[in-house]
Amino acid sequence: MPQDILELKDVKKYYPLTERYTFRSRVTAYVKAVDGVSLTLPEQSTVGLVGESGCGKTTTAKIAAGLIRPDSGSVKFMGADLSEILGDSGSAKQFRRSVQLVYQNPYSSLDPMMTVGDIVKEPLIIHGLARGRELEEAMYSLLRKVNLEDYHALRYPHELSGGQRQRVCIARALATQPKLVLLDEPVSSLDLSIRAQILNLLVELKERERLSYLYISHDLATVRQMCDYVAVMYLGRVVEYAPTDELFNNPMHPYTQALLSAIPIPDPRVKRKRIVLEGDVPNPVNPPEGCRFHTRCRYASQLCRERDQKLIEVGNQHWVACWVAPTGGIPSYTLEYTRE
Amino acid sequence: MVTETVRRKSASQFAVALRRFRKSKAGLVGLGMLVFMCVLAAIGPRIAPYNVNSNNLLLQGDTDIPPTWLKPPLFHDWAFPFGTTVGGLDVFSGVLVSLHVDIIIGVGAALFAMALAILVGLVSGFYGRVVDTVLMRVTELFIVFPALLFLLLLSRLLAGRLSGVETLLFYIIIIGVFSWATNARLIRGEVLRVKSLEFIESEKALGASTTRIVFRHILPNVLAQVVVLTSFTVATSILTEVALFFLGFGSGNILSLGEIMYLNFPYMDVEWWAELFPGLSVVILVLAFNLLGDGLSDALNPKLRE
Amino acid sequence: MEPTLQVESLRTYFYTEAGVVKAVDDVSFSVRPSTIHALVGESGSGKTVTAQSILRIVPKPGRIVGGRIVFEGRNLLDLDERQMRMVRGRRISLIQQDPTATLDPMFTIQDQLVEAIMVTTELDREQAKKKARKLLEDVKIPGPENVLKSYPHQLSGGMRQRVAIARALAGNPKVLIADEPTTALDVTIQAQILELMRSLRDEYGLSIILITHDLGIVAQVADEVTVMYAGKVCESGSVDDIFHSPLHPYTQALLLSVPRVDKRIKLRAIPGNIPDLVQPPQGCRFHPRCPYAVERCSQEEPGLEKVGSQADHTLPSRSVYCHRFREIKLEVV
């Protein structure tokens, strides 16, 4: 059975808001950025983490990457506990080689004072993976893997286009031959005509280099293209998790349905039932009692107002955190085409 | 068919900055003035037509120069372009001979101050929390302290006992010690700004050690600000030195423009030119460094970074 | 039906140190009454500069160097600054991507709305206050009294954008230019704002020029579309025409490369990069990336070709800029 590369169990991260007085400070509230997230990432698969701003997806990803320490819950990388891995400098360095990140903004994630060549060589140097002639060769080979030319090695980030910069970020991420790559909105800041290039490159690399991806985005359309499984997040929790096609064809959680109904589709023919969510996304500082979504949910019952729900399995690898959905109380939602 | 626009000009940050600097009028003027003054300072002692040293500036007079009284400057006697003093000394020679002292002290003090400032700023900005709080309080102490008074005191107490070269070093250090603090704060601010840029986090994710991050990534990106600050700090250091000497608290065994201005001051109503030309020289020197700083700031300004 | 606003052969160039950037180079399109007209393009396409040109707020070193913008019987480019000020905010309004930047954090919503109303209409303060409340109702803000008393930072992104729209409507304009109005908003909020725009079009007969790079938004909300690339127009037409029978290879390429939420498709990437506008490609600006390019495309710039009957003004005008549009058969998703 393929091993799960990543396993998060009930991970929490709260950021305290403090009022500072002269000689003491008082914690008044917590921003519950991540409030009990459980997730698994099977090897060599792509799991998408979607949600709107403030849902905690980026924080979750950074916790998975070991950049933020969770307040509670466990993170396991290839079966080993992450806090133990990071505690020992030897295994920590090994971990840094195995897990890499690609950020949303390809410009600010590159040191403007370094050439592309230096940037790509950096991880190899840090981990002592190559030197001298070998180092140069390795660097050029990485550039070629992302369809950049050799002469790009002498350029500086500000001389490259957005798509090219993102390729540099990807090349850098591949340098240490990682097992898991966390992609945080990798194409959101790129032009439309470039996005497909990068997305196709990512798919190709996943095959060739045998990678697993955690794909974070608010753009459900790209998630549909890229991911094998999708986890929908809302206010620090995963509210629905299913294989991609299952999620999009049979969304069960009311939030997922609302999301799908809201996302514009580049085809005027597609008519959908529009589910309009009232109000704004509530504040992660004081999330509602009971199920977090109940304040905007048209199917909310008394139970929903009182008690929070954890993810329960309702079908073929399909999990929902909802009281009403498993009982069939929520009508199904599909996208219909009307042809004129 | 895939084409790509090929840039022909080198585009390292350094080359880009150099190009921008060339367009800055302030910077070029400042640089020109500075080069001129430095050359003058370097050859000054050799081309000065008359021997001037701190001894003969005192009213004792000197037999090197024919005793000329109250010779008006310029147009009247080209042998003494800046005029002469009551004591019979050539102001022009005085300026030529003392120029290098001011420059040495100014630049030296600035470099010393910046070295301290970079150290404190980097450590404070990067490590944060307790270290930051402590270092910032120390910094504040130095900022708030009435530096000039203390400098005057130190100078009066200690300077007289040192030899020529040691005296220079002495002034470099004490002036430097009172100008590092403000810069430390500014550098810390810049470090904080760079630290929050995404690429620093990505370096951490790559597994880079703290040392590497600080010296290979934060420092080069902070350098721009440092260079600009250095130029301005030289300017203020020179002014501090001139103030120190002008007020009469100089050590007496080195001759700087400030010292000349101190010695000639009592006779200002009679021979104002003896005060004017050294003063003008100070102005030009300080202006040069300030303009240079402006030019550098234009050249390295992050807002213009593509 | 006469078009409300007609842009003819607009040229706006930026005179920079690096050279002349032809940001908008011979752009023409017309906006009809009670219509949402989308200007679609990627970065460098010139869509924002076009909006700035219409309102004549092009920042230096840019300058409008040619063309006409016909609105209410006059060429806006002929007006002097004083006359232009009568147009801005009163006849043509603008809302932009980031409402946080356009609302002053120091004043309450009521203050800002009242100020906008008093500047653009003849109403006095009391009347303006009433109108402010009505405007907030028009943009479907719940609890308008509370919002009036609030400061911008107390409101969410979606609310702020509604307020910005309300303020833009203060002078009863005929045309609203919306430059990427939902890019900074969450998708569920975006849907609300787009819905609002549709109702404004229907209830007030407003023409909206919607500038965006998101094809999904265009498909859902626009009536007519002008596709732009590197400062030029590729094609114009109704939203159905553009999506289901595009005439320009760029439009097709975009449609084939954009991922969709309703089905998984094989993404066909467009090779190459967006051109440098200081030295754009010779001839058709898209030709280096165009699968149908022939020699002529690299030498001659394509001119305007009108398609279909022009006599019937009830139909939107359909036009394309491509040498080979008659020959090539484009596929659609």
pLDDT tens-digit profile of B58-114? 443 444 444 344 445 544 455 666 666 656 667 777 788 888 889 999 999 999 999
Local structure of C148: helix, strand or coil: helix
pLDDT for the residue B306? 37
Q: Which chain C residues have a beta carbon less than 8 Å from that of A267?
A: 219, 243, 260, 262, 333
Q: What is the pLDDT of residue C311?
A: 58
DSSP string, A90-116: HHHHHHHHHEEEE-S-TTTTS-TTS-H
Of A101, A127, A158, the CB nearest to B202: A101
Average pLDDT over residues B204-224: 84
Chain C nearest-CA distance from B157, in A, is 56
Per-residue burial over C299-311, b if 16 or more Cβ lie within 10 Å, else e, is eebbeeeebeeee
Q: Say if the Cβ atoms of A267 and C219 lie within 8 Å.
A: yes
Are A102 and A185 within 8 A, CB to CB?
no
Tokens describing residue A172: 């850098």
Structural domain includes residue A124: no
Whether residue A196 and residue C258 make contact (CB cut-off 8 A), yes or no, is: yes
| Run of H or E including A220 | helix A220-226
Output the pLDDT for position C1: 66
Please, which pLDDT band fits residue B53 given cuts at 50, 70 and 90? low
Pick the residue of B206, B222, B306 with the most A CBs within 10 A to test the interface with A by mutation.
B206
Chains that touch A (3 or more CB pairs under 8 A): B, C
The confidence band for B229, taking pLDDT boundaries of 50, 70 and 90, is very high
**Phi, psi (degrees; rounded to nearest 5) at A235:** 50, 50
pLDDT at A304: 83
Residue C158 tokens, joined: 């979606």
Helices (H), B60-163: 91-127, 129-144, 147-158
In chain A, which residues have their Cβ closer than 8 Å to the Cβ of C258? Answer: 192, 195-196, 221, 266
Best A126, A148, A184 member to test B by mutation, with max B CBs in 10 Å, is A126
Task: List pLDDT tens digits, range A111-130.
Answer: 888 899 999 999 999 888 88
Q: Do B2 and C281 touch (CB under 8 A)?
A: no
> Helices H, strands E: what count in chain C?
11, 12
Closest CA to B121 of B185, B202, B182: B185
**With an 8 Å Cβ cutoff, are B205 and A67 in contact?**
yes
Q: Residue C234: name the closest of C207, C208, C270 by CA.
A: C270
Place of tokens 């690339």: C229
Say if A155 falls within a structural domain.
no
CA distances from B106 to B119, B175, B256, C290 (A): 20, 9, 11, 63
Quick one: pLDDT at residue A179? Answer: 92
CATH homologous superfamily of C5-91+173-320:
P-loop containing nucleotide triphosphate hydrolases (3.40.50.300)
Rg (CA), chain A: 22
Distance from the C84 Cα atom to the nearest Cα atom in chain A, whole angstroms: 34
Give the pLDDT of residue B86.
59
Within 8 A of B5 by CB-CB distance, chain C residues are 275-276, 279
- Mutate: best of A62, A88, A108, A174, partner B, most B CBs <10 A: A108
Q: Which portions of chain A are predicted below pLDDT 70?
A: 1-2, 22-23, 278-279, 335-340
Nearest by CB: B2 against C272, C276, C293 = C272
Least CB–CB distance from A280: residue in C158, C213, C257: C158
Sequence spans of domains, chain C: 5-91+173-320, 102-171
H helices within chain C, ranges in order?
Answer: 47-55, 81-87, 99-102, 109-120, 125-138, 144-149, 157-168, 187-204, 215-221, 239-244, 249-257
Enclosing domain of residue A281? 244-339
Query: What pairs with residue A337 in β-bridges?
Result: A270
Q: Would A122 be classed as within a structural domain?
A: no
Is C236 in contact with C224 (CB distance < 8 Å)?
yes
Instruction: Work out the mean pLDDT of chain B and round it to a whole number.
Output: 79
A-B contacts (CB, under 8 Å) = 66
Write down the pLDDT at residue B78. Answer: 58
What contacts C172, CB < 8 A, 6 or more positions away? Answer: C90, C120, C121
Search chain B and give the residue with CA nearest C270: B2
pLDDT (0 to 100) of residue B126: 87
Q: How far is CA A128 from the centre of its chain?
A: 29
Counting the structural domains of chain A, the total is: 1
Considering the domain boundaries, does residue A308 fall inside one? yes
pLDDT beneath 70: ranges in chain C: 1, 309-315, 332-333
Write the residue in A224, A264, A268 that is nearest to C264 by C-beta: A224
Note whether A260 contacts C261, CB cutoff 8 Å.
yes
Q: Would you tell me which residues 305-324 of chain A have a C-beta closer than 8 angstroms to some C-beta of chain C?
A: none
Residue B286, both tokens:
């300080």
∠ CA C311-C314-C316, nearest 5°, is 85
Residue A3 lies in a domain: no
Q: Do residues C242 and C322 lie in contact, with contact meaning Cβ atoms separated by under 8 Å?
A: no
Closest CA to C241 of C231, C251, C230: C251
pLDDT in the model for residue B60: 38
pLDDT for the residue A229? 94
| Contacts with B2 from chain C: Cβ below 8 Å | 271-272, 288-289
Nearest-by-CA chain C residue for B5: C276
Q: Per the structure block, which two tokens stand in for C295?
A: 């020699």
User: Is residue A200 within 8 angstroms of chain C, CB to CB?
Assistant: yes
Residue B49 above 70 pLDDT?
Answer: no
Q: Choose among B198, B207, B217: nearest Cβ to A103.
A: B198
Question: How far off is chain C from A32, nearest CA to CA, in Å?
Answer: 19
For B217, name the nearest residue in chain A, comparing CA atoms only.
A111
Confidence label for B8 from pLDDT (cuts 50, 70 and 90): very low
- Token pair listed for A291: 């199920």
Which residues on chain A are in Cβ contact (under 8 Å) with B201? 67, 109
Given B1, B2, B5, which is nearest C276 (Cβ)? B5
In a domain, A279, yes or no: yes
Q: Provide CB contacts within 8 A for A298, sequence distance 6+.
A: A254
Residues of A in contact with C217 (CB under 8 A): 264
